[in-house]
Structure 1
Amino acid sequence: MGDDSAAVRTAVLSLQRATGLPMVFGGALSGRDRMRISELVGGTTGSLDGLVVRRNYGLGGKAMALGRPVWVSDYPRASTISHDYDGPVGAEGLLSIVAVPIVVRRQIRGVLYGALREPLSIADRVLAMTVQAARDLEQDLAVQDEADQALARAAAPSEAGPAAARWEEVRAVHAELRGLADQITDPGVRARLLEASTRLAAAGADPSSAPETERPPGPSLSPRELDVLSYVAIGCTNAQVARQLGLLPATVKSYLKSAMRKLNSHTRMEAVNDARRAGLLP
């Protein structure tokens, strides 16, 4: 994780599909007070690809400095911005541009742009959709940050305390990763979170059991059944699981009963232990 560019790419593609703007582009921070444009849809010259935009300079730099959206309807004649990037912008023939900063916990993480090749005012609908795309991206990045922190805890558990306590932390991280994955809109990031949770589950397999290549096929649980069992495994009640996953308690109960049936288990904790033996939980 830790790479914002993949999430920016998804946001750029989604925004272009939603608005139909001739050009949508953006990038993540590439250093202190500067971002690099790395994701573009609708470009014709490549002049903006890789362009480094500094805070306070140009339209995107102004958005970074103010921490809010800014736009112009006739870029070459705009008097409210500096014109340090007139060359690359002019090469693409862009005239009406909106720039929206990506702000996560008061830190600028990048900028999203939408642009027209005509001197027209950016419609309220387009502006609202661009801002919403930025907000969705901010949410994804915030969740990704939480996942990074959880993975760091799992990779370097506290050396203090018994091994059992350290394994409880790994199990808590496993449940947290699965819960966070459900909040992510970027399919690539979601897949990476789920893959990380699967690796944690494999790491917790009983070393006395047969190697994975020699094990008979285990039960196949749905993603939601595994999400529920992950939280049950760390001692959560059905109501607590429901709050964590944004489900109704009755829905949690239904998923749990289905998982128990597939595992041929008779109690909640028996299901957890059977899932651990199958390498589904750490």
Structure 2
Amino acid sequence: MEPSLKTAVAAVRRDTGLPVAFAGAVDPSGRLYPITATAGCLTSVLDGLVIRSGNGLGGRVLAGARIQTVTDYLHDDGISHQYDGPVSRERLRSIVGAPVVVDGSVRAVLYGALRTSAQLGARTLDAMQLSAQRLAFEIAVSEATARRLRAVETAALMREARTAPTRPEWEEVRIAHAELRALAGSVGDEGLRRRIDDIAARLTATAPEYERPVLTTREIDVLALVAIGCTNAEIAVRLDLGAETVKSYLRAAMRKLGAHRRTEAVTLARTAGVLP
């Protein structure tokens, strides 16, 4: 999560205008986290500082799973003061902490801070919330992608070893493959897209007598979702496309495959090795 935390910390400074930002990823126990990403700090005292649930401002954020603020950290009666030393050395006064919540669990805490005592306004708090939500989405997509990658990579290895998955297992692979393509499009990660295309090629290896039709990436994305039973409207939502655009991709794919119906297009795509 480290690259994501560093990006999020930079975004906090940019979007809130606060001069100091830092963050930490919650450990698997859910009870503590170390500060591992900082920006705008005067010293290194925050690096590696372990925050425990309930302690200080960040500990309250972790325990309550909601945004928290203090106007003057060292003199605030609403928090405990185990971390006054590092906060004092960084000369931090007004601080906001926002939880990064994924599937109901706090996965990280983002902070923004001033070196003066001031009430943080609604726009600043909204920007913090948005930064936390963006990071939560990124974590959720990354973890979902990793799960699906493991499923399709296992299937690809089985195919290469000539150990075919059972029919139910293969249906799960097809679903994972379709969802994976949709996820890759949502994060715009070209490296991930290439990895998926490589795995798909291994999953869809065909005998030489089949001439593989040349379909575009989006045409394959649409067909993969058709293959798992999605309607055009559902495909549009998953791929963040317009309904007419989905229809256009589907018509183009059907024409290239010589298909007259959606189901026929899927069958021909599998025969030609375009889909698993």
Bin of the TM-score, shorter chain as denominator length: 0.7 to 0.9
Q: What is the CA deviation profile of residues 94-136 of structure 1, one whole-angstrom value per residue up to 9, with x for unaligned ones?
A: 1111001122222121100011111111121111110121122
Matched, 1:13 2:10: yes
Amino acid in structure 2 at the alignment position of 1:37: I
Q: State the partner residue of 2:170.
A: 167
> Paired residues, what number?
265
Alpha-carbon RMSD across the aligned residues, in angstroms, is 3.1
**5+ residue gaps in structure 1?**
211-215
Q: State the partner residue of 2:51.
A: 53
Structure 2 distance, partners of 1:198, 1:272, is 18
Structure 2 distance, partners of 1:244, 1:230, is 12
Structure 2 distance, partners of 1:175, 1:70, is 40
Q: State the partner residue of 2:145.
A: 147
Distance 1:53 1:205, change over 3 A: same
Structure 1 distance, partners of 2:268, 2:35, is 49
TM-score, structure 1 as length reference: 0.79
The 5-angstrom pairing of residues 125-144 of structure 1 reads: 125-144=123-142
Distance 1:102 1:235, change over 3 A: closer
TM-score, structure 2 as length reference: 0.81
The 5-angstrom pairing of residues 1-282 of structure 1 reads: 4-32=1-29, 33-154=31-152, 163-184=166-187, 190-191=189-190, 193-209=192-208, 219=214, 221-222=216-217, 224-260=218-254, 264-267=256-259, 268=262, 272=266, 281-282=275-276
Q: State the partner residue of 2:161.
A: none
Kept in 1: contact 2:186–2:239 (CA 8 A): no
- Other structure's SS at 1:168 match: helix
Q: What is the CA deviation profile of residues 196-235 of structure 1, one whole-angstrom value per residue up to 9, with x for unaligned ones?
A: 532430221325349xxxxx9984624x333212212334
Distance 1:17 1:278, change over 3 A: farther
- Other structure's SS at 1:30 match: coil
